[in-house]
Chain A
Amino acid sequence: MGQLFDFTEVIKNLDKIAISFWATIRLAAVTAVLSMILGTVWASFRVSPTPVLRGVGTFVVNLLRNTPLTLLAAFCISALSDILKLHFSETPTVNGYWWAVTALSVYTSAFVAEALRSGINTVPLGQAEAARSIGLTFTQSLRMIILPQAIRSVIGPLGSVLIAMIKNTTVVAAVAYGVDAVSEMKQLFFDLGATLPMFIGFAIGYLVLTLPTGFFFGWLSKRMAVAR
């Protein structure tokens, strides 16, 4: 029974595990930035006064939110990259990396947009009416009244989206990239046998990534909460 919890192989391969998590972090960091930008675009579409843009925003967000990420990632790497020959780079790993980033950013942007839109909706209408009645222009009321409140209430939901995105790196990497922590785990499972300690090693790695992020955003959203 003792060999069930024999951690020597994990300790011997700690460097490989650390490198693989570094790949996960790089994937997640780039995706976080891109999905924020793209999500802001969709959200601004959805709250715009132009019906066409609102329609497009709603359509895109609903399309992305209801498509499985696995299918989206597989579509990007097999259909767009392999069949339509849309390559980011001639090197397969670099190409895979950018397609993984693209698939995850596009997918996550829908959830970012939803979080931003619901943040804007938490601002009471009275706040905007008061701002208009004291003569603030659109830009002024947006900059001084609405956005400061909306951004505060959006921190918590955005944190949840970010954590979900970190977990979702496993999916896009497994389908399109193959160099992150979960791919390394699979490789080590094949090379050294699928043991419990090896799983625990990677599970702790993910806990280290997701739990502190959660604590941080929980703390920040409490600290920044709007007193109403």
Chain B
Amino acid sequence: MSREATVLFDAPGPRARRRNLVLTVIAALVILGIIAWIVYALADKGQFDKVLWHPFTQWDVWRTYFIQGTINTLKAAAVGTVLALVFGAIFGLARLSDHWWIRVPAGAVVEFFRAMPLLILIFLAFFVPATVSPIIADGPLGNFQRVMVENVFSIFGVTINNGTVTVPAFAAVVFGLTLYNGSVLAEIVRAGVQSIPRGQSEAAFALGMRKNSVMRLVLLPQAVTAMLPVIVSQIVVLLKDTSLGFIIGYEDLTSYGFKIEPANFSNLLQAAIVCAVIYITINLIVSRIATMLEARISRSKKSITTMSAGSSLPAAGMASGGADAA
């Protein structure tokens, strides 16, 4: 029971404390009742049968399904994070350019991908190349396409056969994650640099630094510190979004844990709970890092501004203020 005044409630006196105690007891009883009812309903349908939970005590089941799935999820998330950070840095800085012919196209790209559902970007990468590539192969860019696929995109498992490009699910997921989260990160970079007080760049210019040095030596080091918590919480979003690979058949944790494992042991409900626990654990660890970074940054007096991990950026099309959920 909070003894201190909050925005909503004054510090409770003896009567309020008594009332809160009564409310606490009633709330606890109601919630216990709901839990008991769910447990009873599940037991009634036989969901606590030993057979259904037994597979989770087997090391083989964990190794073949859950650990393999977690590795695939983390693999897509890691590659996606690195590429999205690169994309975000490039486009975020491009949006801050003094030249309109860099700033405007970069802004259009970022706003477009931020306004798109991630799933249709994944569908774009997964389905479209197979129909489009043979047409390109017959055109003047055919050779360029072949060289690009063989030397660059083959890293992600993309193959070309007689001019037809095949994109594996992994590459499609990474493509979508990179473009979508990269665009969000671009906005974070832009907001981070803009959050540095003007006096900083004015002082740097007064010292005779050029645009490049001002950005590289003065603005970016401070901006990166300020935006680290927001970047980490965006990585949590990216990690959760890897599960979209389930829809196109990428063998991530959702696929392994929710489709392949239950297909063998027919314990879908139980497997879903285990999957959720794994996801939540990973995400809480990453979120914890964000909170720690935030606390550390706000402790040290070096940074001028901090962007909080909880709230971040307005959605596409909005000018200011807001938390970016996804």
Report which A residues bind B (CB closer than 8 A).
1, 3-4, 47, 49-53, 56, 62-63, 66-71, 74-75, 78-79, 83-84, 108, 111, 114-115, 118, 120-121, 123-125, 127-129, 132, 138, 142, 146, 153, 156-157, 159-161, 163-165, 167-171, 174-175, 182, 185-186, 189, 193-196, 199, 202-203, 206-207, 210-215, 217-219, 221-222, 225
Contact = CB atoms under 8 A, between A and B. Distances in A.
A75 B259 CA distance: 11
B97 interface: no
Contacts, number: 247
B116 interface: yes
Interface in B115-146: 115-120, 123-124, 127-128, 130-132, 135-136, 139-140
Contact of A138 (B9, B115, B127, B287): B9
Interface in B284-316: 284, 287, 310-311, 313-316
Given A71-B272, A160-B323, A167-B117, A49 B2 contact: yes
B260 interface: no
A75 B117 contact: no
B276 A53 contact: no
Given A1-B135, A71-B272, A157-B323, A210 B128 contact: no
B167 to A, nearest CB: 11
B91 interface: no
Can you list the 7 inter-chain pairs with the closest CB atoms, starting with the nearest? Answer: A214-B317, A218-B318, A156-B321, A68-B243, A194-B127, A156-B322, A111-B325
A196 B117 contact: no
Contact of A49 (B20, B258, B322): B20
B279 interface: yes
Contact residues of B: prevailing secondary structure: helix
B284 A66 contact: yes
Given A128-B5, A160-B323, A70 B243 contact: yes
Interface in B223-280: 236, 240-244, 246-247, 254, 258, 268-269, 272, 275-276, 279-280
A182 B123 contact: yes
Contact of A71 (B116, B132, B276, B287): B276
B8 interface: yes
Interface stretch (B24-32, B152-160, B203-211): B24-32
A175 B247 contact: yes
Interface residues of B, number: 74
B150 interface: no
Contacts of B310: 114, 118
B45 A70 contact: no
25 contacts: A1-B139, A4-B136, A53-B27, A63-B280, A66-B236, A68-B279, A71-B254, A71-B272, A111-B325, A118-B323, A125-B7, A146-B7, A156-B320, A156-B322, A159-B315, A160-B322, A160-B323, A164-B326, A167-B326, A186-B127, A193-B131, A196-B132, A206-B115, A213-B317, A221-B320
